[in-house]
Amino acid sequence: MRSITLEELKGFRDALLELCLPVNLSDFNAIDIVGTGGDGKNTFNISTLSAFITAGAGVHVSKHGNYGVSSTSGSSNVMEHLGVKFSNNEDFLKRALDQAGICILHAPLFHPAMKNVAPIRKELGIKTFFNMLGPLVNPSFPKNHVLGVFNLEVLRLYSFLFQNTGHNYNIVYALDGYDEISLTGKAKIISNHTEKLFSPEDLGVSIIKQEDIFGGDTIKDAANIFVDIISGKGTEAQNNVVCANAGLAIATSKQISHQEGFELAKESLFSGKAKTSLDKLIELSK
């Protein structure tokens, strides 16, 4: 089976954005932190934790997410388990951004055209080209992005799509297969400014093992890991990996170095600001 072409990916993206229910959150200049999924690694919810750490650091986040397809627990599974309300009401989303620093854009509420595809994707349980589309169709049309992808080919496709858009972005592929900075090895990162090979040593942290970022066997396991980490009870490896990804998002939005972003991420996590963002979002959901 041949790979999708750049023109096809762009065409599907444009069609879904044309059919989506858009929300105008432009006043917040938010960033989306999202991965394609489909890497088959079954990590804990690194990008979602990174989103709350980023919000705790004062950077607004419009987090586009969905239920897990090829993993035990997607972003939406954990958020739902913790009591976060999904809504496509613009006033609610603005209130969430204003008070919690983050809003959750649960994909099915904004993409009715995908309604009939979702159960088929879940039944297949493997990555499809819909994984590639997810990070590209945030209905709030953010201008700042950290995007994780599951292979080098998609990394290149994304980089071509984002060229000359005027957006701030970092597109990430860990060379051992993760769709985010995993700290299990090196990662290729392409931004609107440069292209580089990232090593954990760049942030002064050690390489970790795959089992250090395992996400558990159930949604409850994933939610418990999520709460432990955001409450400051994570392992050193867990803390470093979420702060490495949040640090990249903070750096993207603030136009600072990854190292500076990493330090701000650690401050957000260990001061409790990230947990405050989560608690506020849950409170607003009641």
- Please name which of 68, 43, 41, 28 lies closest in space to residue 238, comparing C-alpha atoms: 43
Pick the more confident residue, 27 or 124.
Answer: 27
Say how many residues make up the chain. 286
Residues 190-201: pLDDT tens digits? 999 999 999 999
Tell me if 1 is assigned to some domain.
no
In this structure, are residues 255 and 76 in contact, taking their beta carbons and an 8 Å threshold?
no
Query: Is the pLDDT score of 119 beyond 70?
Result: no
DSSP labels, 233-284: ---HHHHHHHHHHHHHHHHHHHT--HHHHHHHHHHHHHHTHHHHHHHHHHHH
Report the CATH number at residue 22.
3.40.1030.10
Q: Which residue has the higher pLDDT, 23 or 40?
A: 23
Average predicted confidence (pLDDT) for the chain? 93
**Alpha helices by DSSP H, 20-62:** 46-56
90 inside domain:
yes
Q: Which of 2-11, 95-104, 144-153 has the lowest mean pLDDT?
A: 2-11
In tens, the pLDDT along 41-98 reads 889 999 999 999 999 999 999 999 999 876 678 999 999 999 999 999 999 999 999 9
Does residue 105 sit within a domain?
A: yes
The reported pTM is 0.95
Full residue range of the structural domain in which residue 26 is found: 6-284
What is the rounded average pLDDT of the residues 258-282?
Answer: 99
10 Å CB burial of residue 272 (0-12, 13-18, 19+) is middle
Q: Is the pLDDT of residue 120 over 60?
A: no
Angle of CA points 3, 7, 12, to nearest 5°: 85
Domain count of the fold of the chain:
1
Taking CB atoms within 8 Å and a gap of at least 24, the contacts of 191-197 are 191/252, 192/162, 192/167, 192/168, 195/159
Predicted confidence (pLDDT) at residue 110 exceeds the cutoff of 80: yes
State pLDDT tens for residues 130-178: 778 989 999 999 999 999 999 999 999 999 999 999 999 999 999 999 9
Which residue reads 């470093």 in tokens? 240
Average pLDDT on 216-226 reads 95
Determine what percent of the chain is predicted with pLDDT higher than 90.
85
User: What pLDDT was estimated at residue 118?
Assistant: 57
| Residue that the structure tokens 């919810």 belong to | 45
Residue 252, in any domain of the structure? yes
Looking at residue 72, its pLDDT comes to 74
What is the per-residue pLDDT for 19? 95
Q: HSE on the CB side for 243, CA within 13 Å? A: 26
pLDDT at 125: 52
Whether residue 168 contacts residue 228, with contact meaning beta carbons closer than 8 Å, is answered with no
45 vs 113, higher pLDDT: 45
Confidence at 116, pLDDT banded by 50, 70, 90: low
